[in-house]
Structure 1
Amino acid sequence: MINRLLLRISRISSKNTALEKGYFVLLASFVGIFVSIIAAVFRELLTRTDVFFLMQDSKLLGIPKAFAIPALPAIGGLVGGYIVYKLIRKPGLHGVPSVMKAVALRNLNLLHPHTALIALTSIFTIGSGGSAGPEGPIVEIGSVVGATVGKKTRISRERKGLLVGCGAAAGIAAMFNAPIGGVVFTLEIILRTFSIRAFAPVVISAVAASLLSRGYFGNYPPFYIERTLVFKYVSLRGLFFYALLGLFCALLSILFMNLLKRVQDVFQKIKIAPWLKPCLGGLLAGIIGIAAPDVLGEGYQAISENLRASLTVKWALALVFLKILATCLTLGSGAIGGVFAPSLFIGACAGGAMGSFFMHYTPNLVNTDAPILFALAGMGGMLAGTLTAPLTGILLIFEVTGGQYQMVLPLMFTVAISSIIARSLTKQSIYTMSLLRDGFNVENAALPNLLSLSTAAAVMHPPTKFLKETDTLPNILHHAAEVHDTIFPVEDKEGRFIGLITLNDLKSVLAIGDMGRIIIAADIADPLPRTLTPEDTLDKALNLMTETETEAVPIVSDRQPDKLLGIIRRQDIFAVYKKILEGQDTEIFLE
Structure 2
Amino acid sequence: VAGAGAGIAAIFKSPLGGAFFGIETLYRRDMEVEALIPAIISAISAYVVSCSFFGLGHIYEMHFNIDSIFKPLPLFFFLVLGILCVPLSFLFAKTSAYAKHFFYGIKSVPNFLKPALGGLLFGVIFLLFIMLLTVICDYERACIDFTSGILGGGYGFLQLAFRGELTIVVLMCVMIAKIIATSLTLGSGGSGGSFVPSLTIGAALGGLLGEALQTFHDAEPGVFALVGAAAFFAAAANAPLTSLFVVCEISGSYELFVPALLAIVPAYMLSGDITIYPEQTETRRESPAHRREFFVDLLEGIRVKDACTKDIITIPEKMSVADALLFAEEQGHIVYPVVNERGRMVGIVSITDLERAREDCRMNSTVGEICIRDVVVAYPDEFLEDALQRMENFGVGRLPVVRRQKPSESSSAPEGIVRGEAELLGIITRADIIREHCRRRSLICRVP
- TM-score band by shorter chain is 0.5 to 0.7
Per the TM alignment, residue 403 of structure 1 is displaced from its structure 2 partner at its CA by 3.3
Partner of 1:235: 71
Deviations 1:380-402 (Å, cap 9, x if unpaired)? Answer: 11111100111111112221x23
Residue 323 of structure 1 pairs with residue 178 of structure 2: yes
Aligned-partner SS, 2:94: helix
Partner of 1:544: none
Q: 1:354-503 alignment to 2 at 5 Å? A: 354-360=209-215, 362-363=216-217, 367-368=218-219, 370-399=220-249, 401-423=250-272, 427-431=273-277, 434-435=278-279, 444-445=285-286, 450=291, 471-473=328-330, 476=333, 479=336, 491=352
Aligned-partner SS, 1:175: helix
AA of the residue aligned to 1:231: I
2:147 to 274, 288, 293: 293
List alignment gaps of at least 5 residues for structure 1: 1-164, 462-466, 496-551, 558-562, 580-591
AA of the residue aligned to 1:262: Y
AA of the residue aligned to 2:258: L
- Quick check: 1:285–1:296 contact (8 Å CA) kept in 2? no
Partner of 1:30: none
Q: TM-score, normalised by structure 1?
A: 0.48
Identical amino acids, percent of aligned pairs: 29
When residues 489 and 325 of structure 1 are mapped into structure 2, their CA distance, relative to the original with a 3 A threshold, is farther
- Quick check: 2:15–2:40 contact (8 Å CA) kept in 1? yes
Q: 1:533-572 alignment to 2 at 5 Å? A: 568-569=430-431, 571=433
Distance, in Å, in 2 between the alignment partners of 1:234 and 1:570 is 68
Per the TM alignment, residue 494 of structure 1 is displaced from its structure 2 partner at its CA by 8.5
Q: TM-score, normalised by structure 2?
A: 0.62
AA of the residue aligned to 1:358: L
Deviations 1:341-380 (Å, cap 9, x if unpaired)? Answer: 00000011111111011110x21xxx34x21111011011
Aligned-partner SS, 1:472: helix
Partner of 2:23: 187
Distance, in Å, in 1 between the alignment partners of 2:79 and 2:325 is 76
Distance, in Å, in 2 between the alignment partners of 1:569 and 1:389 is 45
When residues 188 and 451 of structure 1 are mapped into structure 2, their CA distance, relative to the original with a 3 A threshold, is closer
Per the TM alignment, residue 166 of structure 1 is displaced from its structure 2 partner at its CA by 2.7
Distance, in Å, in 1 between the alignment partners of 2:8 and 2:22 is 9
Per the TM alignment, residue 169 of structure 1 is displaced from its structure 2 partner at its CA by 2.3
Deviations 1:79-127 (Å, cap 9, x if unpaired)? Answer: xxxxxxxxxxxxxxxxxxxxxxxxxxxxxxxxxxxxxxxxxxxxxxxxx
Per the TM alignment, residue 299 of structure 1 is displaced from its structure 2 partner at its CA by 0.8
When residues 442 and 411 of structure 1 are mapped into structure 2, their CA distance, relative to the original with a 3 A threshold, is closer
Residue 273 of structure 1 pairs with residue 273 of structure 2: no
AA of the residue aligned to 1:571: I
Per the TM alignment, residue 330 of structure 1 is displaced from its structure 2 partner at its CA by 0.5
AA of the residue aligned to 2:123: G
- Quick check: 2:247–2:256 contact (8 Å CA) kept in 1? no
Per the TM alignment, residue 475 of structure 1 is displaced from its structure 2 partner at its CA by 8.7
AA of the residue aligned to 2:93: M
Partner of 2:371: none
Distance, in Å, in 1 between the alignment partners of 2:116 and 2:260 is 38
- Quick check: 2:13–2:47 contact (8 Å CA) kept in 1? yes
Aligned-partner SS, 1:435: coil
- Quick check: 1:350–1:375 contact (8 Å CA) kept in 2? yes
When residues 473 and 194 of structure 1 are mapped into structure 2, their CA distance, relative to the original with a 3 A threshold, is closer
Partner of 1:104: none
AA of the residue aligned to 1:450: R
Q: 1:307-322 alignment to 2 at 5 Å? A: 307-322=162-177
Structure of higher CA gyration radius = 2
Q: 1:209-228 alignment to 2 at 5 Å? A: 209-226=46-63
Partner of 2:189: 334
CA RMSD of aligned residues (A): 4.2
When residues 185 and 491 of structure 1 are mapped into structure 2, their CA distance, relative to the original with a 3 A threshold, is farther
Q: 1:9-408 alignment to 2 at 5 Å? A: 165-190=1-26, 192-193=30-31, 195=33, 198-226=35-63, 229-232=64-67, 233-271=69-107, 272-290=109-127, 291=130, 292-294=146-148, 295-360=150-215, 362-363=216-217, 367-368=218-219, 370-399=220-249, 401-408=250-257
Distance, in Å, in 2 between the alignment partners of 1:408 and 1:577 is 53
- Quick check: 1:253–1:385 contact (8 Å CA) kept in 2? yes
- Quick check: 1:184–1:392 contact (8 Å CA) kept in 2? yes
Deviations 1:437-461 (Å, cap 9, x if unpaired)? Answer: xxx776651699736999xxxx9x9
Distance, in Å, in 1 between the alignment partners of 2:352 and 2:235 is 60
Per the TM alignment, residue 577 of structure 1 is displaced from its structure 2 partner at its CA by 13
- Quick check: 1:381–1:418 contact (8 Å CA) kept in 2? yes
Distance, in Å, in 2 between the alignment partners of 1:569 and 1:478 is 14
Per the TM alignment, residue 473 of structure 1 is displaced from its structure 2 partner at its CA by 2.3
Q: 1:505-524 alignment to 2 at 5 Å? A: none
Partner of 2:138: none
When residues 259 and 174 of structure 1 are mapped into structure 2, their CA distance, relative to the original with a 3 A threshold, is same
When residues 193 and 451 of structure 1 are mapped into structure 2, their CA distance, relative to the original with a 3 A threshold, is closer
Aligned-partner SS, 2:271: helix
Partner of 2:422: none
Higher helix proportion = 1
Distance, in Å, in 2 between the alignment partners of 1:481 and 1:494 is 16
Deviates more, 1:185-194 or 1:207-216: 185-194
Per the TM alignment, residue 266 of structure 1 is displaced from its structure 2 partner at its CA by 1.1
Q: 1:578-589 alignment to 2 at 5 Å? A: none
AA of the residue aligned to 1:212: V
- Quick check: 2:237–2:275 contact (8 Å CA) kept in 1? yes
Aligned-partner SS, 2:152: coil
When residues 392 and 174 of structure 1 are mapped into structure 2, their CA distance, relative to the original with a 3 A threshold, is same
- Quick check: 1:556–1:564 contact (8 Å CA) kept in 2? yes
